[in-house]
Structure 1
Amino acid sequence: MSRHHSVSRARDSHVRTTSTRKRLSQNFLTDARAARLIVHASGVTTEDLVLEIGPGDGMLTRQLLGVAGRILAYEKDPHYATLLSRRYANNPRIRLFHRDFRTARAPREPFAVVANVPFTITTDIVRWCLAARHLTAATLLTQVEFARKHSGDYGRWTKLTIGHWPTVAVELGARIGRHSFHPMPRVDTAILRLRKRSDPLLPRELIGDYRKVVALGFSGVGGSLAASLHREFPTSAVHAACAAAGIPLDQPVGLVSPDRWTALYRALRA
Protein backbone atom coordinates (compact mmCIF):
# COMPACT_ATOMS: atom_id res chain seq x y z
CA MET A 1 0.00 0.00 0.00
CA SER A 2 1.35 3.44 -0.91
CA ARG A 3 2.14 6.06 1.68
CA HIS A 4 -0.59 8.25 0.16
CA HIS A 5 -3.23 5.56 0.75
CA SER A 6 -2.00 4.95 4.31
CA VAL A 7 -2.24 8.66 5.16
CA SER A 8 -5.66 8.83 3.50
CA ARG A 9 -7.00 5.88 5.54
CA ALA A 10 -5.60 7.33 8.76
CA ARG A 11 -7.27 10.66 7.98
CA ASP A 12 -10.60 8.98 7.19
CA SER A 13 -10.40 6.99 10.44
CA HIS A 14 -9.71 10.17 12.43
CA VAL A 15 -12.67 11.94 10.78
CA ARG A 16 -15.01 9.01 11.55
CA THR A 17 -13.81 8.81 15.16
CA THR A 18 -14.17 12.57 15.67
CA SER A 19 -17.62 12.57 14.07
CA THR A 20 -18.80 9.69 16.27
CA ARG A 21 -17.38 11.34 19.39
CA LYS A 22 -19.26 14.58 18.68
CA ARG A 23 -22.48 12.72 17.83
CA LEU A 24 -22.35 10.74 21.08
CA SER A 25 -21.26 13.76 23.15
CA GLN A 26 -18.10 11.99 24.27
CA ASN A 27 -15.57 13.72 26.51
CA PHE A 28 -13.20 11.02 27.72
CA LEU A 29 -11.79 11.14 31.23
CA THR A 30 -7.98 11.16 30.95
CA ASP A 31 -7.06 11.91 34.58
CA ALA A 32 -6.47 8.75 36.62
CA ARG A 33 -6.58 10.74 39.86
CA ALA A 34 -10.05 12.05 38.96
CA ALA A 35 -11.16 8.52 38.09
CA ARG A 36 -10.02 7.28 41.50
CA LEU A 37 -11.90 10.15 43.15
CA ILE A 38 -15.14 9.17 41.40
CA VAL A 39 -14.79 5.51 42.34
CA HIS A 40 -13.97 6.41 45.94
CA ALA A 41 -17.06 8.65 46.09
CA SER A 42 -19.20 5.76 44.86
CA GLY A 43 -18.38 3.65 47.90
CA VAL A 44 -18.33 0.53 45.71
CA THR A 45 -16.99 -2.65 47.35
CA THR A 46 -16.09 -6.17 46.24
CA GLU A 47 -19.64 -7.24 47.08
CA ASP A 48 -21.23 -4.89 44.55
CA LEU A 49 -22.58 -5.27 41.06
CA VAL A 50 -21.78 -2.07 39.14
CA LEU A 51 -23.19 -0.77 35.87
CA GLU A 52 -20.90 1.59 33.98
CA ILE A 53 -22.28 3.87 31.27
CA GLY A 54 -20.13 4.80 28.28
CA PRO A 55 -16.74 3.52 29.47
CA GLY A 56 -14.99 4.80 26.34
CA ASP A 57 -11.33 3.77 26.44
CA GLY A 58 -11.71 2.43 29.99
CA MET A 59 -10.15 5.00 32.31
CA LEU A 60 -12.94 4.63 34.88
CA THR A 61 -13.32 0.92 34.16
CA ARG A 62 -9.74 0.20 35.24
CA GLN A 63 -10.37 1.88 38.60
CA LEU A 64 -13.69 0.06 39.09
CA LEU A 65 -12.08 -3.31 38.46
CA GLY A 66 -9.86 -2.66 41.46
CA VAL A 67 -12.80 -2.47 43.86
CA ALA A 68 -16.06 -3.79 42.35
CA GLY A 69 -17.25 -7.37 42.45
CA ARG A 70 -18.79 -7.46 38.97
CA ILE A 71 -19.17 -4.87 36.21
CA LEU A 72 -21.66 -4.56 33.37
CA ALA A 73 -20.37 -1.91 30.95
CA TYR A 74 -22.53 -0.38 28.23
CA GLU A 75 -20.75 1.30 25.31
CA LYS A 76 -22.61 2.67 22.29
CA ASP A 77 -19.54 3.58 20.23
CA PRO A 78 -18.63 0.49 18.13
CA HIS A 79 -14.91 1.30 18.18
CA TYR A 80 -14.63 1.38 21.97
CA ALA A 81 -17.10 -1.48 22.44
CA THR A 82 -14.80 -3.68 20.34
CA LEU A 83 -11.66 -2.36 22.07
CA LEU A 84 -12.93 -3.12 25.56
CA SER A 85 -14.44 -6.48 24.57
CA ARG A 86 -11.03 -7.60 23.36
CA ARG A 87 -9.18 -6.14 26.34
CA TYR A 88 -11.36 -7.92 28.91
CA ALA A 89 -12.28 -11.04 26.93
CA ASN A 90 -10.71 -13.30 29.57
CA ASN A 91 -11.92 -11.41 32.64
CA PRO A 92 -15.06 -13.08 34.07
CA ARG A 93 -15.79 -10.11 36.35
CA ILE A 94 -16.75 -7.76 33.52
CA ARG A 95 -19.22 -8.00 30.65
CA LEU A 96 -19.31 -5.52 27.78
CA PHE A 97 -22.49 -4.61 25.92
CA HIS A 98 -22.51 -2.70 22.62
CA ARG A 99 -25.76 -0.85 23.13
CA ASP A 100 -27.37 2.36 24.35
CA PHE A 101 -27.58 2.15 28.14
CA ARG A 102 -31.03 3.74 28.09
CA THR A 103 -32.41 0.56 26.48
CA ALA A 104 -30.89 -1.73 29.10
CA ARG A 105 -33.05 -3.55 31.61
CA ALA A 106 -32.20 -2.89 35.23
CA PRO A 107 -30.84 -5.94 37.10
CA ARG A 108 -33.20 -7.81 39.41
CA GLU A 109 -30.68 -7.60 42.22
CA PRO A 110 -29.08 -4.70 44.10
CA PHE A 111 -26.67 -2.72 41.93
CA ALA A 112 -24.90 0.62 41.67
CA VAL A 113 -24.25 2.87 38.69
CA VAL A 114 -20.95 4.68 38.18
CA ALA A 115 -20.40 6.77 35.06
CA ASN A 116 -18.89 9.69 33.25
CA VAL A 117 -22.22 10.57 31.65
CA PRO A 118 -22.49 11.92 28.08
CA PHE A 119 -23.74 15.47 28.61
CA THR A 120 -26.58 15.33 26.07
CA ILE A 121 -28.35 12.40 27.77
CA THR A 122 -27.72 13.25 31.44
CA THR A 123 -31.40 13.74 32.29
CA ASP A 124 -32.31 10.45 30.58
CA ILE A 125 -29.68 8.62 32.64
CA VAL A 126 -30.84 10.19 35.90
CA ARG A 127 -34.45 9.24 35.14
CA TRP A 128 -33.37 5.67 34.31
CA CYS A 129 -31.56 5.41 37.63
CA LEU A 130 -34.45 6.85 39.62
CA ALA A 131 -36.85 4.36 38.02
CA ALA A 132 -34.66 1.32 38.73
CA ARG A 133 -36.21 -0.63 41.58
CA HIS A 134 -33.02 -2.29 42.84
CA LEU A 135 -30.62 0.62 42.43
CA THR A 136 -28.69 1.31 45.63
CA ALA A 137 -26.75 4.37 44.44
CA ALA A 138 -25.62 6.20 41.33
CA THR A 139 -22.41 8.22 41.12
CA LEU A 140 -22.58 10.33 37.99
CA LEU A 141 -20.06 12.78 36.59
CA THR A 142 -22.13 15.53 34.97
CA GLN A 143 -21.81 19.14 33.92
CA VAL A 144 -21.29 21.18 37.08
CA GLU A 145 -24.41 23.28 36.40
CA PHE A 146 -26.56 20.15 36.12
CA ALA A 147 -25.17 18.74 39.38
CA ARG A 148 -25.68 22.00 41.24
CA LYS A 149 -29.18 22.48 39.85
CA HIS A 150 -30.45 19.03 40.84
CA SER A 151 -28.79 18.99 44.27
CA GLY A 152 -30.26 22.36 45.27
CA ASP A 153 -26.87 24.06 45.40
CA TYR A 154 -28.29 27.19 43.76
CA GLY A 155 -30.89 27.49 46.50
CA ARG A 156 -33.54 26.24 44.07
CA TRP A 157 -34.89 22.74 43.59
CA THR A 158 -36.09 20.82 40.54
CA LYS A 159 -39.32 18.90 40.22
CA LEU A 160 -37.32 15.73 39.50
CA THR A 161 -35.36 15.96 42.75
CA ILE A 162 -38.38 16.95 44.87
CA GLY A 163 -40.53 14.16 43.42
CA HIS A 164 -38.04 11.46 44.35
CA TRP A 165 -36.72 12.95 47.60
CA PRO A 166 -38.68 10.66 49.96
CA THR A 167 -36.93 7.64 48.41
CA VAL A 168 -33.67 9.04 46.97
CA ALA A 169 -31.21 11.52 48.47
CA VAL A 170 -29.53 13.73 45.85
CA GLU A 171 -26.11 15.10 46.82
CA LEU A 172 -23.46 17.29 45.23
CA GLY A 173 -19.96 15.83 45.23
CA ALA A 174 -16.50 17.01 44.24
CA ARG A 175 -15.88 19.27 41.29
CA ILE A 176 -13.61 18.01 38.50
CA GLY A 177 -12.10 20.52 36.08
CA ARG A 178 -12.49 20.44 32.32
CA HIS A 179 -8.75 19.81 31.89
CA SER A 180 -9.29 16.21 33.04
CA PHE A 181 -10.98 15.36 29.74
CA HIS A 182 -10.24 14.94 26.05
CA PRO A 183 -11.53 16.62 24.08
CA MET A 184 -11.76 19.31 26.74
CA PRO A 185 -15.39 20.41 27.30
CA ARG A 186 -16.33 24.06 27.67
CA VAL A 187 -17.45 23.62 31.28
CA ASP A 188 -16.25 21.93 34.45
CA THR A 189 -17.93 18.84 35.83
CA ALA A 190 -19.06 17.66 39.25
CA ILE A 191 -20.12 14.41 40.87
CA LEU A 192 -23.86 14.02 41.35
CA ARG A 193 -24.71 11.29 43.83
CA LEU A 194 -28.10 9.55 44.00
CA ARG A 195 -28.50 7.43 47.12
CA LYS A 196 -31.52 5.18 47.60
CA ARG A 197 -32.93 5.50 51.10
CA SER A 198 -33.24 2.22 52.98
CA ASP A 199 -35.92 3.90 55.10
CA PRO A 200 -38.13 6.19 52.94
CA LEU A 201 -39.28 9.49 54.42
CA LEU A 202 -42.89 8.62 53.59
CA PRO A 203 -44.70 5.25 53.56
CA ARG A 204 -44.18 3.59 50.18
CA GLU A 205 -47.91 3.41 49.53
CA LEU A 206 -48.08 7.21 49.66
CA ILE A 207 -45.20 7.94 47.25
CA GLY A 208 -47.43 7.98 44.17
CA ASP A 209 -49.86 10.39 45.77
CA TYR A 210 -47.00 12.58 47.00
CA ARG A 211 -45.67 12.88 43.45
CA LYS A 212 -49.10 13.93 42.18
CA VAL A 213 -49.07 16.76 44.73
CA VAL A 214 -45.54 17.71 43.63
CA ALA A 215 -46.68 17.81 39.99
CA LEU A 216 -49.57 20.06 41.02
CA GLY A 217 -47.22 22.34 42.93
CA PHE A 218 -44.89 22.65 39.93
CA SER A 219 -47.74 23.35 37.50
CA GLY A 220 -46.82 27.05 37.53
CA VAL A 221 -50.31 28.40 38.19
CA GLY A 222 -50.59 31.60 40.23
CA GLY A 223 -46.89 32.30 40.72
CA SER A 224 -46.46 30.47 44.03
CA LEU A 225 -46.66 26.96 45.42
CA ALA A 226 -49.71 27.83 47.51
CA ALA A 227 -51.54 29.28 44.51
CA SER A 228 -50.95 26.11 42.51
CA LEU A 229 -52.18 23.90 45.34
CA HIS A 230 -55.40 25.91 45.59
CA ARG A 231 -56.56 24.24 42.38
CA GLU A 232 -57.10 20.92 44.18
CA PHE A 233 -57.14 21.71 47.92
CA PRO A 234 -59.32 24.05 50.00
CA THR A 235 -57.75 27.42 50.76
CA SER A 236 -57.89 26.80 54.49
CA ALA A 237 -56.09 23.45 54.12
CA VAL A 238 -53.33 24.97 51.94
CA HIS A 239 -52.79 27.86 54.34
CA ALA A 240 -52.63 25.54 57.36
CA ALA A 241 -50.24 23.12 55.62
CA CYS A 242 -47.93 25.91 54.44
CA ALA A 243 -47.86 27.34 57.96
CA ALA A 244 -47.05 23.93 59.45
CA ALA A 245 -44.21 23.43 56.93
CA GLY A 246 -42.87 26.96 57.32
CA ILE A 247 -43.60 27.93 53.70
CA PRO A 248 -44.66 31.54 52.99
CA LEU A 249 -47.85 31.76 50.94
CA ASP A 250 -46.07 33.74 48.23
CA GLN A 251 -43.07 31.38 48.04
CA PRO A 252 -42.17 30.29 44.45
CA VAL A 253 -42.20 26.52 44.16
CA GLY A 254 -38.54 26.26 43.17
CA LEU A 255 -37.43 27.81 46.46
CA VAL A 256 -39.19 25.23 48.63
CA SER A 257 -36.69 22.71 50.00
CA PRO A 258 -37.31 18.94 49.96
CA ASP A 259 -37.72 18.72 53.73
CA ARG A 260 -40.42 21.41 53.68
CA TRP A 261 -42.14 19.54 50.86
CA THR A 262 -42.44 16.36 52.91
CA ALA A 263 -43.72 18.38 55.88
CA LEU A 264 -46.22 20.10 53.59
CA TYR A 265 -47.50 16.80 52.25
CA ARG A 266 -47.95 15.32 55.71
CA ALA A 267 -49.89 18.42 56.77
CA LEU A 268 -52.12 18.30 53.68
CA ARG A 269 -52.97 14.65 54.35
CA ALA A 270 -53.73 15.47 57.96
Structure 2
Amino acid sequence: MSENGTARLLGPAEVRVLADQLGLRPTKKLGQNFVHDANTVRRIVKVAGVGGDDVVLEVGPGLGSLTLALLPVADRVHAIEIDPVLADRLAETVADRAPDLADRLTVTGADALRVSAADLAVPGRAAPTAIVANLPYNVAVPVLLHLLAELPGIERGLVMVQAEVADRLAARPGSREYGSPSAKLAWYADARRAGPVPRSVFWPVPGVDSGLLSFTRQDPPPGADRAATFAVIEAAFAQRRKVLRGALAGWAGSPAAAETALRAAGIDPMTRAERLTVADFAAVARAKAS
Protein backbone atom coordinates (compact mmCIF):
# COMPACT_ATOMS: atom_id res chain seq x y z
CA MET A 1 0.00 0.00 0.00
CA SER A 2 1.34 3.42 -0.95
CA GLU A 3 1.74 6.49 1.21
CA ASN A 4 0.33 9.73 -0.11
CA GLY A 5 2.57 12.14 -1.99
CA THR A 6 1.85 15.34 -3.85
CA ALA A 7 1.76 16.36 -7.48
CA ARG A 8 1.46 19.71 -9.21
CA LEU A 9 -1.40 19.27 -11.63
CA LEU A 10 -1.53 20.71 -15.11
CA GLY A 11 -3.70 23.68 -16.03
CA PRO A 12 -4.50 25.21 -19.44
CA ALA A 13 -1.27 27.22 -19.59
CA GLU A 14 0.92 24.25 -18.66
CA VAL A 15 -0.78 22.01 -21.20
CA ARG A 16 -0.15 24.53 -23.98
CA VAL A 17 3.48 25.02 -22.93
CA LEU A 18 4.10 21.27 -22.98
CA ALA A 19 2.41 20.94 -26.35
CA ASP A 20 4.50 23.77 -27.79
CA GLN A 21 7.71 22.24 -26.42
CA LEU A 22 6.86 18.96 -28.15
CA GLY A 23 5.67 20.60 -31.37
CA LEU A 24 2.40 18.78 -30.74
CA ARG A 25 -0.58 19.24 -33.01
CA PRO A 26 -3.42 17.05 -31.67
CA THR A 27 -4.82 14.65 -34.26
CA LYS A 28 -8.30 13.22 -34.71
CA LYS A 29 -6.71 9.97 -35.90
CA LEU A 30 -5.32 9.33 -32.41
CA GLY A 31 -8.34 10.86 -30.66
CA GLN A 32 -6.19 13.48 -28.98
CA ASN A 33 -8.19 15.87 -26.81
CA PHE A 34 -6.25 16.72 -23.67
CA VAL A 35 -7.91 17.52 -20.34
CA HIS A 36 -6.52 20.72 -18.87
CA ASP A 37 -8.78 21.24 -15.87
CA ALA A 38 -7.43 20.16 -12.47
CA ASN A 39 -10.88 19.92 -10.89
CA THR A 40 -12.00 17.50 -13.60
CA VAL A 41 -9.11 15.09 -13.08
CA ARG A 42 -9.58 15.27 -9.30
CA ARG A 43 -13.24 14.43 -9.81
CA ILE A 44 -12.39 11.48 -12.05
CA VAL A 45 -9.99 10.04 -9.48
CA LYS A 46 -12.52 10.50 -6.68
CA VAL A 47 -15.38 8.87 -8.60
CA ALA A 48 -13.11 6.03 -9.71
CA GLY A 49 -12.61 5.12 -6.06
CA VAL A 50 -9.05 3.86 -6.51
CA GLY A 51 -6.83 3.61 -3.48
CA GLY A 52 -3.42 2.69 -2.20
CA ASP A 53 -3.77 -1.00 -3.06
CA ASP A 54 -4.62 -0.38 -6.71
CA VAL A 55 -2.45 -0.66 -9.78
CA VAL A 56 -4.18 1.65 -12.22
CA LEU A 57 -4.02 1.14 -15.97
CA GLU A 58 -4.31 4.44 -17.83
CA VAL A 59 -4.82 4.39 -21.58
CA GLY A 60 -3.79 7.43 -23.58
CA PRO A 61 -2.25 9.55 -20.80
CA GLY A 62 -1.35 12.24 -23.30
CA LEU A 63 0.46 15.09 -21.56
CA GLY A 64 -0.13 13.62 -18.09
CA SER A 65 -3.04 15.58 -16.61
CA LEU A 66 -4.86 12.53 -15.25
CA THR A 67 -1.64 10.64 -14.53
CA LEU A 68 -0.52 13.34 -12.09
CA ALA A 69 -3.86 13.13 -10.26
CA LEU A 70 -3.73 9.33 -10.02
CA LEU A 71 -0.19 8.94 -8.70
CA PRO A 72 -0.81 10.32 -5.18
CA VAL A 73 -3.68 7.90 -4.50
CA ALA A 74 -2.73 4.67 -6.30
CA ASP A 75 0.02 2.18 -5.53
CA ARG A 76 1.18 2.38 -9.14
CA VAL A 77 0.05 3.77 -12.48
CA HIS A 78 0.80 1.86 -15.67
CA ALA A 79 0.25 4.13 -18.67
CA ILE A 80 -0.17 2.91 -22.26
CA GLU A 81 0.57 5.56 -24.88
CA ILE A 82 0.59 4.96 -28.64
CA ASP A 83 2.26 8.29 -29.51
CA PRO A 84 6.03 7.79 -29.01
CA VAL A 85 6.66 11.48 -28.43
CA LEU A 86 4.09 11.61 -25.61
CA ALA A 87 5.24 8.28 -24.19
CA ASP A 88 8.84 9.50 -23.98
CA ARG A 89 7.86 12.78 -22.34
CA LEU A 90 5.44 11.48 -19.69
CA ALA A 91 8.07 10.22 -17.24
CA GLU A 92 9.92 13.53 -17.50
CA THR A 93 6.74 15.49 -16.75
CA VAL A 94 6.02 13.31 -13.70
CA ALA A 95 9.61 13.64 -12.47
CA ASP A 96 9.27 17.42 -12.71
CA ARG A 97 5.81 17.84 -11.20
CA ALA A 98 5.66 14.87 -8.79
CA PRO A 99 9.28 13.86 -8.07
CA ASP A 100 8.42 11.88 -4.95
CA LEU A 101 5.97 9.76 -6.94
CA ALA A 102 7.95 9.14 -10.12
CA ASP A 103 8.83 5.58 -9.14
CA ARG A 104 5.13 4.67 -9.14
CA LEU A 105 4.84 5.25 -12.89
CA THR A 106 5.44 2.71 -15.65
CA VAL A 107 5.00 3.79 -19.27
CA THR A 108 4.48 1.33 -22.13
CA GLY A 109 4.58 2.66 -25.66
CA ALA A 110 2.00 0.53 -27.41
CA ASP A 111 -1.36 0.36 -29.15
CA ALA A 112 -3.92 -0.47 -26.44
CA LEU A 113 -5.91 -2.47 -29.01
CA ARG A 114 -3.01 -4.90 -29.37
CA VAL A 115 -1.34 -4.85 -25.98
CA SER A 116 -1.19 -8.15 -24.09
CA ALA A 117 -0.97 -9.06 -20.44
CA ALA A 118 2.66 -10.03 -21.06
CA ASP A 119 3.39 -6.55 -22.44
CA LEU A 120 2.15 -5.03 -19.18
CA ALA A 121 3.87 -7.45 -16.80
CA VAL A 122 6.42 -5.79 -14.53
CA PRO A 123 8.70 -8.18 -12.62
CA GLY A 124 7.96 -8.08 -8.92
CA ARG A 125 4.90 -5.88 -9.41
CA ALA A 126 1.20 -6.69 -9.22
CA ALA A 127 -0.94 -6.71 -12.36
CA PRO A 128 -3.42 -3.85 -12.98
CA THR A 129 -6.54 -3.89 -10.81
CA ALA A 130 -8.38 -0.86 -12.24
CA ILE A 131 -8.71 1.11 -15.46
CA VAL A 132 -8.99 4.89 -15.22
CA ALA A 133 -8.62 6.69 -18.53
CA ASN A 134 -9.70 9.31 -20.99
CA LEU A 135 -10.10 6.80 -23.80
CA PRO A 136 -9.50 7.81 -27.42
CA TYR A 137 -13.07 8.25 -28.60
CA ASN A 138 -12.66 6.63 -32.00
CA VAL A 139 -11.61 3.27 -30.49
CA ALA A 140 -13.06 3.45 -26.96
CA VAL A 141 -15.36 0.41 -27.17
CA PRO A 142 -12.89 -2.08 -28.72
CA VAL A 143 -10.10 -0.88 -26.40
CA LEU A 144 -12.23 -1.37 -23.28
CA LEU A 145 -13.46 -4.82 -24.36
CA HIS A 146 -9.95 -5.91 -25.32
CA LEU A 147 -8.43 -4.84 -22.00
CA LEU A 148 -11.14 -6.53 -19.95
CA ALA A 149 -10.60 -9.73 -21.91
CA GLU A 150 -6.82 -9.57 -21.68
CA LEU A 151 -6.56 -8.52 -18.02
CA PRO A 152 -8.81 -10.61 -15.75
CA GLY A 153 -7.34 -8.89 -12.70
CA ILE A 154 -9.13 -5.65 -13.59
CA GLU A 155 -11.81 -5.32 -10.91
CA ARG A 156 -13.32 -1.94 -11.74
CA GLY A 157 -12.79 1.23 -13.68
CA LEU A 158 -13.88 4.66 -14.74
CA VAL A 159 -13.43 5.84 -18.30
CA MET A 160 -14.24 9.04 -20.11
CA VAL A 161 -15.80 8.47 -23.52
CA GLN A 162 -18.14 10.18 -25.95
CA ALA A 163 -21.47 10.76 -24.17
CA GLU A 164 -23.52 8.65 -26.56
CA VAL A 165 -21.00 5.80 -26.25
CA ALA A 166 -21.34 5.96 -22.46
CA ASP A 167 -25.11 5.75 -22.91
CA ARG A 168 -24.78 2.68 -25.13
CA LEU A 169 -22.32 0.89 -22.90
CA ALA A 170 -24.42 1.46 -19.78
CA ALA A 171 -27.73 0.65 -21.47
CA ARG A 172 -29.95 -2.11 -20.11
CA PRO A 173 -32.01 -4.62 -22.13
CA GLY A 174 -35.19 -3.08 -23.45
CA SER A 175 -33.79 0.43 -23.84
CA ARG A 176 -33.28 2.19 -27.16
CA GLU A 177 -29.51 2.51 -26.62
CA TYR A 178 -28.99 -1.17 -25.79
CA GLY A 179 -26.99 -2.97 -28.44
CA SER A 180 -23.96 -5.10 -29.17
CA PRO A 181 -21.52 -2.96 -27.11
CA SER A 182 -23.87 -3.07 -24.09
CA ALA A 183 -24.31 -6.83 -24.24
CA LYS A 184 -20.60 -7.53 -24.76
CA LEU A 185 -19.55 -5.27 -21.89
CA ALA A 186 -22.09 -7.03 -19.67
CA TRP A 187 -20.12 -10.24 -20.20
CA TYR A 188 -17.29 -8.65 -18.21
CA ALA A 189 -18.80 -5.99 -16.01
CA ASP A 190 -21.79 -4.12 -14.66
CA ALA A 191 -21.63 -0.57 -16.04
CA ARG A 192 -23.38 2.70 -15.26
CA ARG A 193 -23.20 6.35 -16.25
CA ALA A 194 -21.21 8.43 -13.77
CA GLY A 195 -21.90 11.95 -14.99
CA PRO A 196 -21.16 14.35 -17.86
CA VAL A 197 -17.90 16.15 -18.69
CA PRO A 198 -18.10 19.63 -20.24
CA ARG A 199 -16.36 20.30 -23.55
CA SER A 200 -14.56 23.30 -22.08
CA VAL A 201 -12.15 21.16 -20.02
CA PHE A 202 -10.42 19.85 -23.17
CA TRP A 203 -7.82 21.22 -25.54
CA PRO A 204 -8.64 21.27 -28.35
CA VAL A 205 -12.36 21.54 -27.59
CA PRO A 206 -14.04 18.42 -29.02
CA GLY A 207 -17.07 18.56 -31.27
CA VAL A 208 -18.94 16.02 -29.15
CA ASP A 209 -20.16 15.76 -25.56
CA SER A 210 -18.30 13.52 -23.13
CA GLY A 211 -19.36 11.37 -20.23
CA LEU A 212 -17.99 9.13 -17.51
CA LEU A 213 -18.68 5.41 -17.45
CA SER A 214 -18.11 3.43 -14.26
CA PHE A 215 -17.92 -0.35 -14.23
CA THR A 216 -17.37 -3.22 -11.80
CA ARG A 217 -16.19 -6.66 -12.87
CA GLN A 218 -18.79 -9.42 -12.74
CA ASP A 219 -18.71 -13.11 -13.61
CA PRO A 220 -19.87 -14.13 -17.10
CA PRO A 221 -22.85 -16.46 -17.47
CA PRO A 222 -21.88 -19.86 -16.02
CA GLY A 223 -20.77 -22.48 -18.51
CA ALA A 224 -20.84 -20.02 -21.41
CA ASP A 225 -18.34 -19.67 -24.23
CA ARG A 226 -17.39 -16.06 -24.93
CA ALA A 227 -16.63 -16.37 -28.65
CA ALA A 228 -19.84 -18.30 -29.30
CA THR A 229 -21.91 -15.85 -27.24
CA PHE A 230 -20.41 -12.83 -28.97
CA ALA A 231 -21.17 -14.40 -32.37
CA VAL A 232 -24.84 -14.57 -31.39
CA ILE A 233 -24.80 -10.98 -30.14
CA GLU A 234 -23.23 -9.70 -33.35
CA ALA A 235 -25.69 -11.60 -35.57
CA ALA A 236 -28.70 -10.53 -33.53
CA PHE A 237 -27.86 -6.82 -33.56
CA ALA A 238 -26.69 -6.76 -37.18
CA GLN A 239 -30.39 -6.93 -38.09
CA ARG A 240 -31.93 -5.58 -34.93
CA ARG A 241 -35.17 -4.55 -36.64
CA LYS A 242 -35.92 -8.18 -37.37
CA VAL A 243 -37.30 -10.65 -34.85
CA LEU A 244 -34.68 -13.12 -33.69
CA ARG A 245 -35.97 -15.98 -35.84
CA GLY A 246 -35.00 -13.95 -38.90
CA ALA A 247 -32.02 -12.04 -37.48
CA LEU A 248 -30.27 -15.25 -36.44
CA ALA A 249 -31.10 -17.21 -39.60
CA GLY A 250 -27.67 -16.67 -41.15
CA TRP A 251 -25.90 -17.54 -37.91
CA ALA A 252 -27.95 -20.69 -37.34
CA GLY A 253 -28.15 -21.81 -40.97
CA SER A 254 -31.85 -21.15 -41.51
CA PRO A 255 -34.82 -19.47 -39.82
CA ALA A 256 -36.04 -22.88 -38.66
CA ALA A 257 -32.68 -23.71 -37.09
CA ALA A 258 -32.65 -20.32 -35.37
CA GLU A 259 -36.12 -20.96 -33.99
CA THR A 260 -35.06 -24.36 -32.68
CA ALA A 261 -32.08 -22.87 -30.83
CA LEU A 262 -34.15 -20.02 -29.45
CA ARG A 263 -36.90 -22.28 -28.15
CA ALA A 264 -34.34 -24.62 -26.60
CA ALA A 265 -32.94 -21.58 -24.77
CA GLY A 266 -36.41 -20.63 -23.55
CA ILE A 267 -36.63 -17.51 -25.73
CA ASP A 268 -39.58 -16.47 -27.90
CA PRO A 269 -38.36 -16.56 -31.55
CA MET A 270 -40.55 -13.51 -32.27
CA THR A 271 -38.77 -11.23 -29.80
CA ARG A 272 -35.98 -8.81 -30.80
CA ALA A 273 -32.35 -8.61 -29.81
CA GLU A 274 -32.71 -5.59 -27.52
CA ARG A 275 -34.83 -7.66 -25.12
CA LEU A 276 -32.12 -10.24 -24.39
CA THR A 277 -29.58 -10.17 -21.57
CA VAL A 278 -26.06 -11.45 -22.03
CA ALA A 279 -27.15 -14.61 -20.20
CA ASP A 280 -29.91 -15.07 -22.81
CA PHE A 281 -27.42 -14.76 -25.67
CA ALA A 282 -25.16 -17.28 -23.94
CA ALA A 283 -28.11 -19.67 -23.57
CA VAL A 284 -28.83 -19.43 -27.32
CA ALA A 285 -25.19 -20.17 -28.11
CA ARG A 286 -25.25 -23.21 -25.84
CA ALA A 287 -28.51 -24.46 -27.33
CA LYS A 288 -27.10 -24.39 -30.85
CA ALA A 289 -23.91 -26.16 -29.76
CA SER A 290 -25.77 -28.97 -27.99
TM-score norm. by structure 2 comes to 0.72
User: Is the aligned partner of 1:139 residue 2:158?
Assistant: yes
CA offset at residue 170 of structure 1? 2.5
| Matched residue SS, 1:190 | strand
> Structure 2 regions of 5+ residues with no counterpart?
1-16, 122-126
What is the aligned counterpart of 2:200 among 179, 184, 198? 179
Letter in 2 for 1:27: N
Give structure 1 stretches of 5+ with no counterpart.
1-9, 244-248
- 3-state SS of the aligned residue for 1:17? coil
User: Are the aligned partners of 2:236 and 2:248 in contact in 1 as well (CA < 8 Å)?
Assistant: yes
Give, in angstroms, the shift of residue 63 of structure 1: 1.3
Paired residue for 2:24, among 17, 29, 38? 17
RMSD: 3.3
Contact between 2:184 and 2:278, CA under 8 Å: does it hold in 1? Answer: no
Alignment of 1:129 onto 2:147: yes
Letter of the 1:66 partner, please give it.
P
Shift in Å, 1:205: 4.7
Amino acid at match of 2:69: Q
TM-superposed CA distance for 1:212, in Å, is 4.0
Contact 1:116/1:140 (<8 A) preserved: yes
Return the alpha-carbon distance in structure 2 between the equivalents of residues 225 and 43 of structure 1. Answer: 40
**Pairing partner for 1:238 from 242, 262, 267:** 262
Distance in 2 separating the partners of 1:184 and 1:95: 29
Residue 49 (structure 2) aligns with: 43
Q: Displacement of 1:34 after TM fit?
A: 1.5
1:11-90 residue pairs with structure 2 within 5 A?
16-18=23-25, 20-89=26-95
Residue 136 of structure 1: CA displacement?
1.8
How much has 1:207 moved relative to structure 2?
4.2
Distance 1:92 1:15 in 2: 23
Correspondence 1:258 to 2:277:
yes
Alignment CA distance shift 1:25-1:88 (3 Å): same
Is the Cα–Cα contact under 8 Å of residues 81 and 109 in structure 2 kept in the other structure? yes
Q: Percent identity?
A: 25
The 10-residue stretch of structure 1 (166-175 or 106-115) with the greater mean CA deviation from structure 2: 106-115
Q: Output the CA distance in 1 between the equivalents of 2:110 and 2:232.
A: 36
Q: Which amino acid aligns with 1:185?
A: P
* Equivalent in 98, 104, 119 of residue 115 of structure 2: 104
Residues 63/221 of structure 1: CA separation in 2 closer, same or farther (3 Å cut): closer
Query: 1:180 offset after TM fit, Å?
Result: 1.2
Aligned-partner Cα distance in 2 for 1:126–1:266: 23
Q: Distance in 2 between matches of 1:234 and 1:123?
A: 28
CA 1:121 to 1:37, structure 2 compared with 1: closer, same or farther past 3 Å?
same
**Which structure has the larger Rg over C-alpha atoms?**
1
Aligned to 2:242: 223
SS in 1 for 2:58: strand
**TM superposition shift of 1:46:** 0.7
Shift of 1:193: 2.6
What count of residue pairs does the alignment treat as equivalent?
250
Distance 1:221 1:189, change over 3 A: closer
Give the equivalent residue in structure 2 for 1:6.
Answer: none
Question: Residue 226 of structure 1 contacts residue 239 of structure 1 at CA under 8 Å; is this kept in 2?
Answer: no
Q: Distance in 2 between matches of 1:69 and 1:266?
A: 41
Q: Which moved more, 1:259-268 or 1:207-216?
A: 259-268
Q: Is the 8 A contact 1:73 1:95 kept in 2?
A: yes
Tell me the distance in 2 between the aligned counterparts of 1:216 and 1:111.
32
Q: Secondary structure at the match of 1:62?
A: helix
Partner amino acid for 2:262? V
SS in 2 for 1:102: coil
CA distance, structure 2, for counterparts of residue 16 and residue 60 of structure 1: 21
Which whole-Å deviations, capped at 9, do the CAs of 1:9-41 have from their partners, x for residues lacking one? x9xx689522x4444221111122221221122
Q: Distance in 2 between matches of 1:58 and 1:76?
A: 14
